[in-house]
Each structure stands twice: as structure tokens, then as C-alpha cells.
Amino acid sequence: MTLYIVISLLVGLLLGQRFKVLILLPAIALILMLTIGTGIVRPDALWAIVVMAVGTVASLQIGYLVGIAIRRCPGQPSARHCVSGPIASATARTLTQPST
């Protein structure tokens, strides 16, 4: 079960690096089919199949979020530099302008 969770975490990281959030729908469907199929082939109890499926789906989503964070701020030492948008631009301008 741990192997499935680690693999789905790594797959989520890769998906987060390259794709938008809608890629999670087919990825979750595929992972659910694989984990449920594996649980049926191995004579696991129903609760073990459910726990394995929930764990792999949650791991995929966590990996996707971490992948987005890595894509958003590669190599930045602090999270303050990772923010963008009009509010962050205005804040950066006020921080860089000398006070009078």
C-alpha cells in the first residue's frame, strides 16, 4: 500500500509541473481503477481496498499541489517572492520606494 501512495505522490508531482487541474479527473479515475483492480486481484478485504483507494487519491492530490508550488516558485528562498498579481505588485512597489 505504501508503494501505491508514493507512486501516486510522484505522479501528482509530475502532473502539477505540466498540466492544469482538470488533468486530475482522468488521473483519479485511472488510479481508482488500478487500486480497486489490484485489491480485487489480491484477496483483500473491502476496508483495505477503500483505504488504499482513498490514500492513493489523496496522495495524488497532495503531490499535484506540491508540483504546482514547485512550478510557481522554482528555487525561491522565501515564499514572499512567489506571490504575483496586482496586490503583490503594489506591495513590491511600496517596499522598494524610499520613504519620504
Q: What percent of the chain has pLDDT over 70?
A: 73
CA gap 81, 87 in Å, rounded = 13
Write down the domain spans for the chain. 2-96
Q: Which residues contact 66 (CB under 8 A, 6 or more apart)?
A: 12, 13, 16
Query: Quick one: pLDDT at residue 71?
Result: 83
pLDDT above 60 (res 62): yes
Query: DSSP for 34-65?
Result: HHHHHHHHTT--HHHHHHHHHHHHHHHHHHHH
Buried b (16+ CB within 10 A) or exposed e, 62-86: bbbeebbeeeebeeeeeeeeeeeee
pLDDT above 90 (res 86): no
Whole-structure pTM value:
0.72
